[in-house]
Amino acid sequence: MDYFLDEEQLMIRDLARQIALEKVLPIRAELDEKEEFPWDIMKTLAQSDFFGINIDEEYGGLGKGGFEMGLVIEELSTACLGVSTTFAANSLGTYPIQIAGSDELKKKYLPDIASGKKLVAFGLTEANAGSDAAGVQTTAKLEGNEYVLNGTKQWITNGGDAEIYTIIAITDKTKGARGASAFVVDKGTPGFSFGKKENKLGIRASSTRELIFENCRIPKENLLGKQGMGFIIAMKTLDKSRTGVGAQGVGVAQGAFDAAAIFAKQRQQFGAPVISFQAVQHMLADMATQIEAARALVYSVAKFIDSGAKDVAKASAMAKLFATDVAMKVTVDAVQVMGGSGYMREYPVEKMMRDAKILQIYEGTNQIQRNIIGQALIKETTKKK
Amino acid sequence: MNIIVCVKQVPDTSEIKINPETNTLMREGVPSIINPFDLHAIEAAIQIKEQTGGKVTVLTMGPPQAETSLRESIAMGADEAVLLSDRAFAGSDTWATSYTLAKAIEKLGADIIFCGKQAIDGDTAQVGPETAEFLNMPHISYIKKIEDVTDSSIKVQRMMDEGYDVVESSLPVLLTVVKELNQPRMPSLKGKMAAKKAQITTMGMADIGADENSLGLKGSPTQVRNIFAPEVKAERKMIEGSPEEQVENLLKELKEIKCI
């Protein structure tokens, strides 16, 4: 379908597609097998200006929005979700600086992020704080001109490979959720180390590690926004990033669908290509329809957010929820359409199926997305009375 | 450092079809691309610019639509582009092409001139070296590595059938490059946006001060009689017999030609 992208949006999408086809697709199986971090691809994306897409021009970016970022993430995801996760995690980690950073912090960090010189990671999740983000136990204590961080973050995408970390830590235990604050921490700061690289079901090209803070001292100027704003910053960050996860869902589903459709046309059974059988046609028809519906929702919500709308939690949760549930269903069905071949490593869809599962889990499980939508519905209904 | 890269717009050979009646290339409807070897030349030029500063100018001779290749070069990171386009240039062979390029380079001025080793449509590999001769300038062909560049000299590795030569030259110099030299970069988004807006300079016969009789068909001494792939002259000899006899005969042969 034609979404009437403008000339620059087409340029962005087409170049991202070219990189996905020429640089990502040929090595995706190897990256998955070896669990290898895609440095070469990140270098290409940096050289082609993709890291700066939604960073302001005054900091060296292109000044585009989450919609354009989503186009890039979608294209990369059609080839490899591990690569697109590595790329998209930068945007996730950068939002806190864009949302709440002082001019000094923006000047210090955004140019290196926009040029792709430094990768970024976002550190919220902990052993006892996942869906319940308020369970964060990492602390940050102000001592003179420094905050002292202690605690461990878990399952952090780009952990160890990124140079810049945006971290949520508790500055006042007595205040609950209002006692959290957000900080920027540089790799190499004494007292900041990493745990082992996790071995994952999917998105194996992306790296996932623990961040360990042991009396890690950072300048107090590295506080993002004001003390106590940590959760608001984290929630605003997730509101913005969720359409990116939705775009990942659309992309991986499209990649799996394309592989399955081509296979169904070539595979002969009972003297005819299997695509000629209604049982297969109907599966493909459902898959294609679901993908288009997911894309339409993700695009609309991304544009809604870019318009500067204030209350976007419900819409962004819907985009993430729907598109990633579609991704799971479509990738499973793609394996089914391809039968035994689909189950084999020789074909790309089993990897896509393994990769897709994370989309229903990270950046808020799809159950949490339903909670967010539900809470918004309650609020809306109360207003109507 | 002023660097000029000569590029050629060629038909995409992966898409090409042959007219079965005339046995000639069917160029209609075939997409045009930058000659693949020239992409390595552009990459090399941009890398030197990134190291030493300066300016990369891409230069092409061709019809107005060759402008597309120039814009693609700018999207990769070239700064300026010059299109040599004039009816007088039509029908040029390698001699007339080299003369025309040389006249333009004289006007533009350059410390280093890069060319791809050959174009994939004509495959002559003549234009680079001939241009250097017209400019009365040293040239090094088939370079696979640039070891060092200073303000006044360059040191490169020239690919040979067996191994390579290390060659040092003063500047200005013309270099033709092979694909082993580097990996051409993808265009960048900022480059693509700049390419869209870029002003392409067009130069004709009068602008480069060329002699009309040396241009185009008039200035082209080449007459094509026949096109064929040259015979490979390597000799091959099969040694037969039992394994023992084969070894014995092989040793004898090798001794005869003083290999061992």
pLDDT confidence of residue B224: 76
* pLDDT mean over A226-249: 96
Q: Which of A204, A230, A256 is the last residue of a domain?
A: A230
Q: Which of B73, B36, B4, B45 is nearest to B149 (CA)?
A: B45
Same domain, A201 and A70: no
A116 to each of B93, B146, B178, how far by Cα in Å?
45, 26, 30
Q: Under DSSP, is residue A144 helix (H, G, I), strand (E, B) or coil? A: coil
Q: Is A335 exposed, middle or buried (0-12, 13-18, 19+ CB in 10 A)?
A: buried
Distance CA A364, CA A104 (A): 31
Task: Identify whether the C-beta of residue A302 lies closer than 8 Å to the C-beta of residue A316.
Answer: no
DSSP chain B: -EEEEE--EEE-GGG-EE-TTT-SEE-TTPPEEE-HHHHHHHHHHHHHHHHH--EEEEEEES-GGGHHHHHHHHHHT--EEEEE--GGGTT--HHHHHHHHHHHHHHH--SEEEEES--TTT----HHHHHHHHHT--EEEEEEEEEEE-SSEEEEEEE-SSSEEEEEEESSEEEEE-GGG--PPPP-HHHHHHHHHPPPEEE-HHHHT--GGGSTTTT---------PPPP--------SSHHHHHHHHHHHHHHTT--
Q: Which of A12, A22, A41, A49 to mutate to test the interface with B (most CBs of B within 10 A)?
A: A49
Name residues whose C-beta falls within 8 Å of residue B134's C-beta, 6 or more positions apart in sequence: B98, B99, B101, B102, B103
From chain A residues 17-56, the ones with a CB under 8 A of any chain B CB are: 18-19, 22-23, 44, 47-50, 53
Sign of the C-alpha dihedral computed for residues A216, A219, A220 and A226 taken in this order:
negative
What residues contact A262, with CB distance under 8 A and at least 6 apart? none
Same domain membership, residue A322 and residue A251: yes
Cβ(A330)–Cβ(A289) under 8 Å?
Answer: no
> In whole angstroms, what is the distance from residue A76 CA to residue A16 CA?
7
pLDDT above 70: residue B25: no
What is the 3-class SS of A364-380, one letter each residue?
CCHHHHHHHHHHHHHHH
Task: List the single residue in A18, A22, A47 with the smallest CB-CB distance to B188.
Answer: A47
Can you give the CATH number for the domain in which A34 is found? 1.10.540.10
- Residue A177, pLDDT above cutoff 90: no
Q: Is residue B248 part of a domain?
A: no
For B126, counting Cβ atoms within 10 Å of its Cβ (0-12 exposed, 13-18 middle, 19+ buried), the class is: middle
Query: Minimal CA–CA distance to B36: which of B119, B146, B112?
Result: B119
Residue A382 pLDDT greater than 70, yes or no: yes
State the pLDDT at residue B24. 65
Share of chain A above pLDDT 70, in %: 100
Q: Which residue of B has its CA nearest to A16?
A: B189
Q: Is some CB atom of chain A closer than 8 A to the CB atom of B193?
A: yes
Query: Are both A236 and A380 inside the same structural domain?
Result: yes
- Is residue A94 classed as helix, strand or coil in its secondary structure? helix
Q: What is the CATH number of the domain that holds A179?
A: 2.40.110.10
Chain B residues with CB-CB distance to A50 below 8 A: 189
* DSSP conformation class of A81: H
Chain B environment of A44 (Cβ under 8 Å): 185-186
Contact at CB, A53 and B193, closer than 8 angstroms: no
Let me know the angle formed at the C-alpha of B229 by B227 and B230, rounded to the nearest 5 degrees.
Answer: 110
Residue B237 lies in a domain: no
Pair of tokens at residue B251: 């040793």
What are the structure tokens assigned to A66, written together? 């989450």
CB spacing of B189 vs A18 below 8 angstroms? no
Neighbours of B156 (CB within 10 A): 25
- One domain for residues A153 and A271: no
Average pLDDT, chain B: 91
Are B186 and A44 a contacting pair at CB < 8 A?
Answer: yes
Question: How many structural domains does chain B have?
Answer: 1
Question: Is residue A83 within 8 Å of residue A161, measured between CB atoms?
Answer: no
3-state SS class at A135: helix
The answer on pLDDT for B162 being more than 90 is no
Rounded CA-CA distance A43/B33 in Å is 25
Q: Could you give the residue ranges of the DSSP H alpha helices within chain A?
A: 7-19, 28-34, 39-47, 66-79, 81-100, 103-114, 230-266, 278-306, 313-343, 349-356, 366-384
Residues of A in contact with B193 (CB under 8 A): 8, 11
Percentage above 90 pLDDT, chain A: 96
B217 close contact with A: CB closer than 8 A: no
Nearest chain B residue to A60, by CA: B190
Say if A102 falls within a structural domain. Answer: yes
**Per-residue pLDDT for A133 more than 90?**
no
Per-residue model confidence (pLDDT) at position A270: 95
How many Å from the N-terminal Cα to the C-terminal Cα in chain A? 40
Residue A134 pLDDT greater than 90, yes or no = no
Both tokens assigned to B181: 């030299």
User: A361: buried, middle or exposed (CB in 10 Å: 19+, 13-18, 0-12)?
Assistant: middle
Q: Are A102 and A221 in contact (CB under 8 A)?
A: yes
> What are B176-215's pLDDT values in tens digits?
999 999 999 999 999 999 999 999 999 999 999 999 999 9
Domain-embedded: residue B112: yes
β partners of residue A181: A169
Let me know if residue A1 belongs to a domain.
no
- Measured from the Cβ of residue A101, the count of other Cβ atoms closer than 10 Å reads 24
Question: Do A380 and A330 belong to one domain?
Answer: yes
- A314-318, B189-193, B222-226: the lowest-pLDDT one: B222-226
Q: Hey, are the CB atoms on B190 and A23 less than 8 Å from each other? A: no
By CA distance, what is B184's nearest residue in A?
Answer: A44
Domain containing B161 equals: 2-214
β-pairing verdict for B201-203 and B153-159: unpaired
**Which range marks the domain in which residue A59 is found?**
7-114
**CA dihedral in degrees (A134, A136, A141, A147; nearest 10)?**
-110
Question: Are A235 and A351 found together in one domain?
Answer: yes
Q: Is residue B129 scored above 70 in pLDDT?
A: yes
Whether residues A256 and A373 fall in one domain: yes
Evaluate if residue B18 carries a pLDDT over 80.
Answer: no
**Domain boundary, last residue among A206, A230, A254:** A230
Residues of A with a catalytic annotation lie at 363
pLDDT confidence of residue B22: 66
Answer with the one of A230, A264, A284 that is the final residue of a domain: A230
A86 with A130, same domain: the answer is no
Assigned domain for A2 exists: no
Q: Is A324 a member of any domain? A: yes
- Residue A178: enclosing H or E segment and its boundaries? none
Question: Residue A304 above 80 pLDDT?
Answer: yes
Based on the fold, state whether residues A191 and A140 are members of the same structural domain: yes
Number of independent structural domains in chain A: 3
Q: Which amino acid is at A69?
A: M
Give A-chain residues touching B186 at CB under 8 angstroms. Answer: 15, 18-19, 22-23, 44, 47-48
Shared domain check, A304 and A224: no
Q: What is the ipTM of this complex?
A: 0.87
Same domain membership, residue A179 and residue A243: no
Give the dihedral sign, CA A331/A333/A337/A341: positive
| In the predicted structure, residue A229 carries a pLDDT above the cut 90 | yes
Backbone angles phi, psi at A236, to 5 degrees: -65, -35
Provide the CATH number for the domain around residue B200.
3.40.50.620
Of A289-303, B8-22, B137-151, B213-227, the range with the lowest mean pLDDT is B8-22
Mutate: best of B43, B185, B189, partner A, most A CBs <10 A? B189
Distance from CA of B46 to the nearest CA of A (A): 12
Mean pLDDT of chain A: 96
B17 has a pLDDT exceeding 80? no
Strands B80-84 and B201-203, bridge-based pairing: parallel
Kindly state whether residues A307 and A240 are assigned to the same domain: yes
Q: What are phi and psi of A296, to 5 degrees?
A: -60, -40
Instruction: Specify the pLDDT at position B121.
Output: 83
Residue B235, pLDDT > 90, answer no
A7, A12, A22: residue with CB nearest B189 = A12
**CA distances from residue A146 to A183, A185, A189, A221 in whole angstroms, order as listed:** 12, 12, 12, 8
**Can you read off the two tokens belonging to residue B199?**
């002003």
Across the strands, what pairs with A136? none
CA separation, residue B133 to residues A50, B107, B137, B170, B220 (Å): 43, 16, 6, 15, 16
Contact B186 A12 (CB under 8 A): no
pLDDT at A32 over 70: yes
